[in-house]
Amino acid sequence: MTDTPPDGARSSPSTARNRQPILQELGPRLPDGARVLEVASGAGEHALFLAAGLPSVKWQPTDCDPETLESIEAWRASAGLSNLAAAIRLDAADPNSWPDGPFEAVVCINMIHIAPWVATQGLMAGAARVLTHGGQLFLYGPYLEAGIATAPSNLAFDQSLKSRNPAWGLRDLDRVKALASAHDLAFAERISMPANNVIVVFEKPG
């Protein structure tokens, strides 16, 4: 797998840093043959890397931004992975744009703080709808957490997000958990990740 973006593809330095730790945590938690819906795939590098590293899973990348979909497609065309589906447009906040599923997992990396809260509301409602019973929602990113001092780098990131768009910003993890619970998604696990990020796992009851 090449790291050089093919024509039309975008690349992000943060993905190069976080993709391996994400693979390490996700891999053992996904059942063999899992169908995975990725919400907000961005440039598509996670989709490519995770599909390549988890050949038994079927990875469905999505995003709401048409330019981003082009980047995902450029990466996908260059990789020729049979378990990586063509990207589809999905706006987390628009229930009509979600596929029917079912999926054993929904994965969302770095969207919740870079989108208005309505996207998180749509993400929870959509995941609750498309997940299989026992299926899991994985969120990756930085959060504000009660009882845990927020790292200065995350506080600065929060400020810079809010200056770009007042509707953006790091979310309070307790608020995200309460929203998940309102959609019958049970909090299952919190995994510390490098650079003051976490993976939070929610499960649809079996």
For ligand SAM, the binding residue among 40, 144, 179, 180 (CB under 6 A) is: 40
Among 115, 127, 170, 200, binds ligand SAM (CB under 6 A): 115
- Of the candidates 74, 104, 105, 110, which one interacts with ligand SAM according to CB under 6 A? 110
Per-residue tokens: 156? 């600065």
Rounded to whole angstroms, the Cα distance separating 26 from 8 reads 28
Q: Which residues from 7-26 bind ligand SAM, rule CB under 6 A?
A: 12, 15
The token pair at 91 is 């706006």
The residue (of 34 and 93) whose beta carbon lies closer to ligand SAM is 93
Of 77 and 167, CB closest to ligand SAM: 167
**63 or 203: CB nearest ligand SAM:** 63
CB of 201 to ligand SAM, least distance (A): 17
Residues 189, 201: contact at Cβ < 8 Å?
yes
Residue 91 or residue 205: which is nearer to ligand SAM going by CB?
A: 91
**Residue 127 CA from chain centroid, whole number:** 11
Question: 84: which 2 tokens?
Answer: 């990586």
What lies within 8 Å, CB to CB, of 132 at 6+ separation is 101, 102, 103, 104, 204
